[in-house]
């Protein structure tokens, strides 16, 4: 029933690529992935080196401005992150309008859009000096909004940011400080979270980043484009997977089902269940981020003296998967989300904040892609489709239906 020839005559050949597995949507200088060999680089720098030697603020600068910063550039960026850490007091009223059990990702997306009403939305993306302000502003305020949304969800007032703390430690303070017990930053914990944010900072044309680019291609402002990215990230097949992994591990733990029994269910596709935190559209090999996170996970748990039975279950699931033909044939390996939840749980971050943390991490990537879209000659993204609906038919009046 599809009249391909008439489409061709009008528009040229349309390619159909379900899920865009082989379609390049843009040219980009930001992130390189070789999925067959498990390689990830930001602006040419291997992820392993950045995770080991950089900080989240420096990596954000690299992604957004294209080069590693000099000392004074990094200091200026850090100063701006501190300067912009407060949100307008009127925004606090907006938090009050959400129900107590509102998902923090819903609040985050809505409040980022609202932020655009309190900030200048006109910016010059091609001017590095100018763009540092909106980039730092958004990164800093998103962190404050994220922490405030959590505080709201537990019925507690927000913790105001502290100027003496750097980006990640400040976030942990805003999230976890209690009136009688201010959060005391622990280097190992802060480093682990910082590493986690670095590992999430960009991943080329994933669902949320493509969303940011597509919305941005309509010349929507940075806040509106990033708010759309947050919504895309929320999905369990994308950023929501870190929550799904923890739910899966907890379910195994509570039910007493063995990893082997669970894997049988996964392989038999019982009720469509999947091994969450496994598989990736691009990596058909180890996700290089998963290797780094697994190591960081061991370090944090050691340091905090925590023995988490969920980590034992995760490691056993991985062992079983790596020797099982189902996973080998389909090239399914642990992805970045498989171990990240265990680190966050050890740090004391509640499960409903996991995807929000992912969003904070991915923000520099979204900002840099939005900027790239706005620096290139503008062309709105507008894919085509293959129409599979009803052929032409005449309208039927109500009394004849």
As annotated, the active-site residues are: 280, 337
Residue selected from 280, 345, 369, 371 as contacting ligand ACO according to rule CB under 6 A: 280
Residue with Cβ nearer ligand ACO (202 or 337): 337
- CB-based closest residue to ligand ACO: 279
Kindly state whether residue 366 participates in binding ligand ACO, applying the rule CB under 6 A.
Answer: no
Element at 215 (helix H, strand E): helix 207-217
Identify residues 248-267 at the interface with ligand ACO (CB under 6 A). Answer: 266
Q: CB of 349: closest distance to ligand ACO in angstroms?
A: 17
Q: CB of 274: closest distance to ligand ACO in angstroms?
A: 3
Kindly state whether residue 238 participates in binding ligand ACO, applying the rule CB under 6 A.
Answer: yes
Kindly state whether residue 275 participates in binding ligand ACO, applying the rule CB under 6 A.
Answer: yes
Q: CB of 35: closest distance to ligand ACO in angstroms?
A: 10
Kindly state whether residue 38 participates in binding ligand ACO, applying the rule CB under 6 A.
Answer: no
Taking residues 328 to 347 in sequence order and writing x for each that binds ligand ACO by CB under 6 A, - otherwise, the string is --x-x--xxx----------
Here the tokens at position 221 are: 């402002």
Secondary structure (3-state) at 39: strand
Contact between residue 133 and residue 80 where contact means Cβ atoms under 8 Å apart:
yes
Beta bridge partners of 278: 334
Here the tokens at position 111 are: 């409040």
Residue with Cβ nearer ligand ACO (274 or 303): 274
Residues contacting residue 299 through CB under 8 Å, at least 6 positions apart: 188, 192
Q: Among the candidate windows 45-53, 209-217, 222-230, 238-246, which touches ligand ACO by CB under 6 A?
A: 238-246
Kindly state whether residue 373 participates in binding ligand ACO, applying the rule CB under 6 A.
Answer: no
Beta bridge partners of 31: 42
Q: Please state, in angstroms and rounded to a whole number, the distance separating the CA atoms of residues 295 and 289.
A: 10
Torsion of CA 73, 119, 127, 202, to 10 degrees: 70
Q: Among the candidate windows 57-65, 114-122, 129-137, 270-278, which touches ligand ACO by CB under 6 A?
A: 270-278
Q: Which spans in 271-377 are helix H?
A: 288-304, 309-322, 325-329, 337-347, 354-375
Here the tokens at position 106 are: 């819903």
Residue selected from 125, 277, 361, 365 as contacting ligand ACO according to rule CB under 6 A: 277
The Cα angle at residue 189 between residues 188 and 195, in degrees rounded to 5: 90
Here the tokens at position 240 are: 């929501």
Q: CB of 207: closest distance to ligand ACO in angstroms?
A: 7
**Contact footprint for ligand ACO (CB under 6 A):** 19, 237-239, 241, 266, 274-281, 330, 332, 335-337
């Amino acid at each position: 029933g599809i009249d391909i020839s008439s489409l061709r005559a009008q528009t040229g050949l349309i390619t159909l690529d379900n899920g865009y597995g082989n379609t390049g949507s843009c040219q980009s200088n930001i992130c390189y992935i070789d999925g067959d060999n498990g390689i990830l680089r930001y602006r040419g720098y291997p992820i392993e080196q950045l995770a080991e030697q950089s900080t989240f603020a420096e990596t954000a600068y690299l992604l957004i401005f294209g080069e590693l910063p000099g000392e004074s550039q990094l200091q200026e960026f850090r100063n701006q992150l501190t300067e912009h850490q407060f949100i307008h007091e009127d925004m606090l009223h907006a938090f009050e309008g959400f129900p107590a059990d509102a998902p923090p990702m819903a609040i985050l997306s809505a409040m980022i859009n609202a932020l655009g009403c309190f900030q200048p939305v006109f910016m010059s993306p091609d001017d590095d000096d100018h763009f540092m302000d909106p980039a730092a502003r958004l990164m800093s305020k998103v962190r404050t909004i994220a922490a405030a949304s959590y505080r709201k969800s537990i019925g507690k007032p927000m913790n105001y940011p502290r100027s003496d703390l750097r980006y990640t430690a400040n976030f942990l303070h805003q999230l976890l400080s209690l009136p009688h017990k201010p959060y005391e930053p622990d280097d190992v914990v802060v480093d682990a979270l910082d590493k986690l944010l670095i590992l999430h900072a960009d991943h080329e044309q994933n669902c949320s980043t493509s969303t940011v680019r597509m919305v941005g291609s309509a010349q929507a402002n940075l806040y509106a484009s990033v708010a759309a990215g947050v919504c895309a990230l929320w999905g369990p097949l994308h950023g929501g997977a870190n929550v799904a992994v923890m739910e899966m591990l907890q379910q195994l733990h509570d039910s007493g089902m063995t990893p082997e029994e669970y894997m049988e269910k996964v392989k038999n596709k019982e009720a469509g269940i999947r091994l969450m935190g496994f598989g990736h559209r691009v990596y058909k090999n180890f996700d290089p981020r998963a290797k780094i996170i697994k190591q960081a996970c061991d370090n944090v748990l050691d340091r905090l003296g925590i023995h988490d039975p969920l980590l034992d279950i995760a490691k056993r699931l991985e062992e079983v998967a790596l020797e099982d033909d189902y996973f080998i044939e389909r090239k399914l390996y642990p992805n970045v989300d498989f171990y990240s939840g265990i680190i966050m749980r050890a740090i004391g971050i509640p499960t409903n904040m996991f995807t929000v943390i992912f969003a904070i991490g991915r923000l520099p990537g979204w900002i840099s892609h939005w900027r790239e879209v706005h620096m290139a000659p503008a062309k709105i993204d507008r894919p085509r489709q293959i129409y599979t609906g009803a052929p032409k038919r005449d309208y039927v009046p109500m009394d004849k239906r």
